[in-house]
């Protein structure tokens, strides 16, 4: 796009600056007309001051005949080529600023004209679509990665029995997930007057272990009392923050997230300083921390009250969250990507198909990823049409993605099973098929669901390599979770396998 702008306007130099998500600085600066030797002589990329800063802050087109004579100019670094005539156009879409397109040194003319400005505006609109698409695509991929990480963390937390080790695990995993400098978990003392740091991970964590914080005069105590998460961009500016703890680790920004167990505030997760150029956390970081806190809270309940009620709450919470996330991805991200596709078609009619082909392919790919993730989280067919349709759809996806032959026979009358039974059977089939694809090296697998007077039965059988039970940990294959789902409904799950003899999984649930 920059090369096209340079060619069409007769400029010697062009650049495109992408503004970071805070809207205050440049995160990328791409140039045309400056060779590698000049780039090395100039050094670091611009930081968005002077005339560049004016464009970032004002979001208005700027044309100058003499750049160096403008009082807002801060000059050029040593080795920078001289530049006088200047044209800068904001890159915006639906009120959101993504950056600016800059051109300098118009050849054979005193300054850039109205026609140049109109051309660059059109290219800036195309650039805005490209940048928004790239960020939407990356957001969908990031959601996918975070969901996978959260699921792995859930399994790790649920499998940890010792409460102290559970807290240490939770602190270290959350720090990795949001890329923070420090994470600590505080629990209230029995009298409720103090909060004790039970676990800490990150820079200076050793100074935080065992630290006591006044529950009545600290941000942690307020978070516990309100049971509401807060994001603090500047700890120094918040009057509720007791500065003693942040000073120990030189923290300047934070997230405070309550741990709520059975409607009781069981503790607070405190996250200090995002790694990178800015210590501030984003709304996305807050959502991840809250999702993590929900899982950690359930894990605490499991550790303190091991039993079916706790496991049921975990599974139901996971299904509710899967449903919510699937709905958000479908209704928001999916619709946004679909809208961009429509916008691209309109631009194609104006600009031609070739300049937008790559962008359109990326949007199509991202939309496909979102739809796949939505189905994996909570298949709409399970809620709309029942177990048989959902299993058929799952089998179809497995066939397409793995080439595996999948036979399905669901002989259960529609509407005869409660929703929790359909969910449990679907998740057992889903986990079993995942194992077949990952581990079995099978050519085919069959799924048979039948119902009798008082039971419903599912059999998943593959012709893969099989395994010796003594050589495989059940948790490694997800068999523990499958068995727990069956047991929660009073049923059972059996696994039959031998090396070279394939694997058969049988789950049987009582219906009365």
Confidence of residue 475 (pLDDT cuts 50, 70, 90): low
Q: CA–CA separation, 245 vs 183, rounded Å?
A: 12
Angle value at C-alpha 280, between 279 and 282, nearest 5 degrees: 135
- Out of 128-142, 153-167, 180-194, the most confident range is 180-194
Count the alpha carbons within 13 Å of 90 in the hemisphere toward its beta carbon.
Answer: 17
Q: Which of 143-157, 367-381, 413-427 has the lowest mean pLDDT?
A: 367-381
> Strand 492-497 relative to strand 455-462: parallel, antiparallel, unpaired?
unpaired
Q: Is the pLDDT of residue 372 over 80?
A: no
**pTM score:** 0.42
Domain 162-306 has CATH 3.30.450.40: yes
Question: Which pLDDT score, from 0 to 100, does residue 351 have?
Answer: 64
CA 242 to chain centroid, in Å, comes to 31
CATH class for the region spanning 2-112: alpha beta
Query: Which residue, chain included where needed, has tokens 């695990």?
Result: 169
Maximum Cα–Cα distance for the chain, whole Å? 90
- How many residues comprise the chain? 512
Boundaries of every domain in the chain: 2-112, 117-159+308-378, 162-306, 381-512
SS3 assignment, position 240: coil
Q: In three state form, how does the secondary structure of 328-348 look?
A: HHHHHHHHHHHHHHHHHHHHH
Selection from 44, 283, 62, 299 nearest residue 178 by Cα: 283
Question: Which pLDDT score, from 0 to 100, does residue 483 have?
Answer: 83
CATH class for the region spanning 381-512: alpha beta
Common-topology check for domains 162-306 and 381-512: no
Residue pLDDT, tens place only, 165-206: 778 888 988 898 899 999 999 998 866 789 999 999 999 999
Question: Which pLDDT score, from 0 to 100, does residue 379 have?
Answer: 67
Query: Which residue, chain included where needed, has tokens 């067919």?
Result: 381
Share of the chain above pLDDT 70, in %: 78
Give me Rg for the CA atoms of the chain.
29
Selection from 300, 306, 308, 310 nearest residue 267 by Cα: 300
Residue pLDDT, tens place only, 390-422: 899 889 888 988 899 999 999 988 878 888 888
Whole-number average pLDDT of the chain: 82
Q: CA–CA separation, 507 vs 512, rounded Å?
A: 16
């Amino acid at each position: 796009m920059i090369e096209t702008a340079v060619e069409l306007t007769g400029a010697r130099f062009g650049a495109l600056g992408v503004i970071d998500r805070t809207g205050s600085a440049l995160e990328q600066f791409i140039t045309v007309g400056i060779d590698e030797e000049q780039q090395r002589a100039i050094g670091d990329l611009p930081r968005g001051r002077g005339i560049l800063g004016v464009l970032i802050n004002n979001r208005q087109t700027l044309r100058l005949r003499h750049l160096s004579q403008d009082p807002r100019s801060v000059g050029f670094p040593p080795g920078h080529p001289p530049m006088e005539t200047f044209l800068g156009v904001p890159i915006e879409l639906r009120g959101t600023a993504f950056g600016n397109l800059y051109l300098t040194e118009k050849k054979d003319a005193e300054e850039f004209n109205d026609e140049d400005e109109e051309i660059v505006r059109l290219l800036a609109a195309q650039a805005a679509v490209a940048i928004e698409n790239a960020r939407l695509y990356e957001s969908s991929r990031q959601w996918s990665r975070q969901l996978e990480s959260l699921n792995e963390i859930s399994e790790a937390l649920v499998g940890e029995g010792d409460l102290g080790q559970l807290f240490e695990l939770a602190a270290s995993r959350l720090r990795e997930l949001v890329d923070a400098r420090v994470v600590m978990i505080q629990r209230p003392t029995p009298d409720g007057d103090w909060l004790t740091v039970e676990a800490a991970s990150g820079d200076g964590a050793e100074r935080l272990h065992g630290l006591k914080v006044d529950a009545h005069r600290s941000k942690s105590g307020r978070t516990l009392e309100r049971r509401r998460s807060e994001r603090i961009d500047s700890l120094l500016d918040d009057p509720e923050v007791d500065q003693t703890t942040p000073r120990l680790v030189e923290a300047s920004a934070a997230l405070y997230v309550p741990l709520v167990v059975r409607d009781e505030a069981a503790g607070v997760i405190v996250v200090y300083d995002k790694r990178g150029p800015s210590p501030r956390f984003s709304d996305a970081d807050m959502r991840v921390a809250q999702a993590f806190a929900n899982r950690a809270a359930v894990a605490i309940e499991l550790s303190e009250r091991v039993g079916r009620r706790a496991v049921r709450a975990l599974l139901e919470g996971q299904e509710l969250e899967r449903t919510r996330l699937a709905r958000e991805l479908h209704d928001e991200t999916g619709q946004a990507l679909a809208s961009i596709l429509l916008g691209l078609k309109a631009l194609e009619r104006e600009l031609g198909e070739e300049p937008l082909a790559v962008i359109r392919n990326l949007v199509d790919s991202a939309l496909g990823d979102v739809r796949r993730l939505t189905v994996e989280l909570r298949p709409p067919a399970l809620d709309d049409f029942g177990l048989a349709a959902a299993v058929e759809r799952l089998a179809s996806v497995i066939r397409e993605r793995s080439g595996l032959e999948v036979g399905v026979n669901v002989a259960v009358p529609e509407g005869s099973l409660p929703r929790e039974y359909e969910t449990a059977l679907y998740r057992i089939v889903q986990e079993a098929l995942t194992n077949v694809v990952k581990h079995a090296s099978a050519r085919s697998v069959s799924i048979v669901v039948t119902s009798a007077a008082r039971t419903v039965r599912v059999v998943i059988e593959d012709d893969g390599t099989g395994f010796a039970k003594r050589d495989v940990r059940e948790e490694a294959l997800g068999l523990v979770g499958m068995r727990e789902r069956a047991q929660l409904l009073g049923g059972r799950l059996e696994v039959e396998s031998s090396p070279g003899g394939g694997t058969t999984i049988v789950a049987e649930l009582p219906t009365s």
